[in-house]
Structure 1
Amino acid sequence: MPVRTHAPQSPPPVPPIDVMRRPRPSAAATSPASSASSPASGAAKATLVLVKHPKRPPMKQRVTLDDVERQIVQLNTDLPPDMKRRMAKAEFKRLKHCETVRQSRVRKKNERKGLRQVNDELEAELSVMLRAYRRENDWMRFDERSLRDVLFKRFVHSIYEVRGLRGENAELRDQFLLYDALGEQFQRLQDDFQIPRQIGTRTSIGTIHFAELSVEEARDIMVDSHAQATSFFEAMDRVATREEDKTMGWTQHQRITSEGRVQFNFTKRIETVGAEELVDKSWAMYCDFGLYHGIYSSVQKLEILQRINDNTLLIRRDLQEGSSAPIFRTVFLLFRIRLASGYLICFRSHNPKVCVEDDDDPNVQWMEMFYWLLITDPPAVGVGPPPRGCDVTFGGNLLNHRSAKHATIWKYQIAMALLRWESNAAAPLFALYG
């Protein structure tokens, strides 16, 4: 008669001990007779194998009301207890709302990604079917005797027409975005005759886990940045320039690196000021946040995290174009180094390796940043007096190299920032007479 086996019940909880020993098998279980007659005894003698599960990514620790209250107490020790509790409850409510919004955004992003993948697969399958139909049929001639042939070929023509209209629509959208970005930047250029004041910032809770840079780490970043900037400058200096690549005296070059990033480069001879004076003016503007806003953008928050020396700063920047727009956050190293014939001023991002989810706003996105300003003395020609002025090279990496639309917008924003810098540091771009 077959014996029905039942699933073993879970054993009672065992108190934690350092070493767990298996119970010794009984004499009946170890005898040869019992081993030969009972299959269960063979299972009892089997060796236990440790099963290794793949490591899961660490889960984000849930923030509780006690955690928020503890942080508020640390930041505001002089407030009364009732005020601290009210602040903790309000902050905890806001954090829960931010987490809900973030999860909803991630879920919608995944849904859109899945729909795009399905659409790409269907488009690829449709293209295969259309190519097969065009090979087997003369789709440019209609057989009026067959209604099915006429309707089907008209349907094929409409598909190609729709695809052509999609391409035109994408081009028009890119032109509109470019026009909108240029209009906004020109308006901001007019408003920057009066340098805006620094935007006030509020104390944030648990936003960035910051570790100070050592002098050796900063030196490694400087050496790598100098190598990339000079190699690009030397490579592009040998390339012939077309007239359409020149804008307001600036010569433009660009290339794609081995990692797929798009690098740009603007060069110009400025004859009204020398290299030393221009470097001093530029460094003073970059270190003064009020003037920095006038060069790049008045809608950003800046904070010095570490002053390594007089020529090296570690700065945090939050850039937001509008109240509902995403916040682009960067921790970057601002430094200047002396070269054989000039100076190099560089902005190089040094974001945390683990970018913690922002507690202030769920729309925060960490952004890479790599720009350089190379100011050198012009090379001497012949035995005459040295040339006047200096040679300026402004280059770097575009923000989003995978999207042509975003890369174009960022490219023109950088160009407008370059014109602002020239107007403030070298000479005004426009002169009014009369």
Structure 2
Amino acid sequence: MLHDKYVEATSEKERQMKENAMLRRIHCQHLTFHKKLAAASAAEERERRREREEAGQEEPTKEPESDSSSDNQRLEMKPITADACYEVIRAAYTEVRKFQRSRDLYTSNAEVLGWTHRYRLEGEKLQYSICKFFPGRSAEEISDRGWAVMTNESSYKALHSRGLTSNLYDIQTVNDDNRVFCRELQRPGQNTIMKALLLMSRFQTGDGYMTVYRALDHDKFGFTGVDGPGRSGTDLMMNSRPPASVVWLDMFAWTSFESCSDGSGVDFQFGGEMKHFSADNAKFWMMEVLLMALRWESRTVAPLITLR
């Protein structure tokens, strides 16, 4: 009797695993379709803009005026070329591999919901990576989902803690796999806005996929930032706090998706480097990185827990 139930349960498990694999393949196909559709739409819009500029006249736009004026603000920079993106990618990939192969990493034995972390201090920089294995998944599938989350302004903002002010502005789409954003972060209780003109690039590696997030020289590209909504005179009189200072960060982060040779799943790593300045600053950002990873997992892999 028990043997029959065990056989039945095993058969049902195999059936559901096959069904889940099929659903994941279908979902991956839908993601690819939407990605191509978005790229085609962006290319069509760029072509229309070019035609309007050549004709010397502005055509009415179907988008809200606020979005249009915001886009005009954001495009005031020297465009980056695909060749320049590839140069950034090559250098970043070399740095990532150097870190991954390093033998002087401190490894924590503690696990938080399956996540482990490694880090090392190099001068004023804290280099880190947090890792987790996702069974029954493909590297391409998680890479595509992660890209969709990280390149969307609202979903990227939702990855951060509520007390942290975060903004992501779309600046330039070079091609399907290379995009430029302006990222802004502000810690609670601090009057400093940390900005970065950020290149997000994804590419295939020998054993999976990788995405790099590399700060560009904003002065080189003539980019001064995205102006936020101004404050009225009344607001300024009521708020005695001085305007926030701006610090441009040399940010570097990356995600790696490596498929296991036996097809059992994906080894995922989220790493990067930051200036630690102080123990308090390093502790705050490492906790924020872990919370981001948990929220990222809930959005791209499967719901985990609700973090507020």
Write the deviation string for residues 186-238 of structure 1: whole angstroms up to 9, x where unpaired. Answer: xxxxxxxxxxxxx98985999996222122221111001111112211225x9
What does residue range 149-188 of structure 1 map to in structure 2 within 5 Å? none
Determine helix, strand or coil for the equivalent of 1:243.
Answer: coil
CA spacing shift, 1:201–1:368, aligned 2, 3 Å = farther
CA distance in 1: counterparts of 2:187 and 2:67, whole angstroms: 16
Decide which of 281, 291, 295 is 1:420's aligned counterpart: 295
Q: Secondary structure at the match of 1:348?
A: strand
205 and 273 in structure 1: CA distance in 2 versus 1, 3 angstrom threshold: closer
Q: 1:393 aligns with which of 269, 272, 276?
A: 269
8 Å CA contact 1:317–1:329 kept in 2: the answer is yes
Which of the residues 215, 225, 245 maps onto 1:363? 245
Give the letter aligned to residue 265 of structure 1. Answer: S
For the pair shown, the structure with the greater C-alpha radius of gyration is 1
Structure 1-normalised TM-score? 0.46
Q: Which aligned pairs between 1:31-42 and structure 2 lie closer than 5 A?
A: none
Please say if 1:261 is aligned against 2:125: yes
On the 8 A contact 1:272/1:427 being kept in 2, the answer is no
Equivalent residue in structure 2 for 1:291, among 155, 167, 170 = 155
Question: How many Å separate the matches in 1 of 2:185 and 2:226?
Answer: 14
1:410 paired residue number: 285
Which residue, out of 197, 213, 236, partners 1:331?
Answer: 197
One of 206, 216, 225 as aligned partner of 1:340: 206
The correspondence for 1:374, drawn from 252, 256, 260, is 256
Please say if residues 168 and 181 of structure 2, whose CA atoms lie closer than 8 Å, have aligned partners that are also in contact. Answer: yes
In structure 1, how many angstroms separate the alpha carbons of the residues matched to 2:201 and 2:119?
A: 24
Given candidates 225, 230, 233, the residue that maps to 2:100 is 233
For residues 320 and 200 of structure 1, the distance between their equivalents in structure 2, rounded to whole angstroms, comes to: 23
Amino acid at match of 2:196: T
Q: Give structure 2 stretches of 5+ with no counterpart.
A: 1-65, 229-242
Spell out, residue by residue over 1:347-366, the C-alpha distance to the aligned partner (whole angstroms, 9 max, x if none): 11113247869987552221
Q: From 115, 121, 139, give the equivalent of 1:250.
A: 115
Cα offset for 1:239? 6.2
Q: Are positions 1:282 and 2:146 aligned together?
A: yes
CA distance in 2, matches of 1:289, 1:330: 15
Partner-residue secondary structure (3-state), 1:391: strand
Deviation per CA, 1:143-185: give whole Å up to 9, x if none: xxxxxxxxxxxxxxxxxxxxxxxxxxxxxxxxxxxxxxxxxxx
Give identity over the alignment, percent: 24
Alignment partners' CA distance in 2, 1:401 and 1:240: 16
Residue equivalent to 2:77: 210
Secondary structure of 1:247's partner?
Answer: coil
Q: Which has more strand, going by share of residues?
A: 2
Kindly state the Cα deviation for residue 377 of structure 1 after the two structures are TM-superposed: 0.5
The answer (yes or no) to whether the contact 1:207–1:356 under 8 Å persists in 2 is no
Task: List runs of 5+ in structure 1 lacking aligned partners.
Answer: 1-198, 381-385
DSSP 3-state at the match of 1:216 = helix
Aligned-residue Cα RMSD (Å) equals 3.4
Instruction: Return the letter of the residue paired with 2:82.
Output: V
Structure 2: which amino acid aligns with 1:428?
A: P
Match of 2:235 in 1: none
Q: Which residue of 2 aligns with 1:82?
A: none
For the residue of structure 1 that corresponds to 2:264, the secondary structure is coil
Query: Residue 158 of structure 2: SS of its match in structure 1?
Result: helix
d(CA) in 1 for partners of 2:267 and 2:117? 14
**CA pair 347-263 structure 1, distance change in 2 beyond 3 A:** same
* Deviation at residue 319 of structure 1 after TM alignment: 2.2
AA matched with 2:152 = D
Structure 2 CA distance for aligned equivalents of residues 213 and 294 of structure 1: 28
The amino acid of 1:267's aligned partner reads C
Question: What is the identity, as a one-letter code, of the residue corresponding to 1:409?
Answer: F
Q: Which has the higher contact order (CA 8 A, sep 6+)?
A: 2
**Cα–Cα, structure 1 residues 211 and 389, in superposed 2: closer, same or farther, change >3 Å?**
same
Match status 1:310 vs 2:176: yes
Q: Aligned partners of 1:358, 1:267: CA distance in 2, in Å? A: 33
Aligned equivalents of 1:346 and 1:404: distance in 2? Answer: 26
Which letter maps to 2:271?
A: G
User: Structure 1: how far apart are the matches of 2:140 and 2:226?
Assistant: 41
After alignment, is 339-348 or 270-279 more displaced? 270-279
The Cα shift of 1:425 comes to: 0.8
The residue that corresponds to 2:42 in the other structure is none
Residue 238 of structure 2 is matched in structure 1 by: none
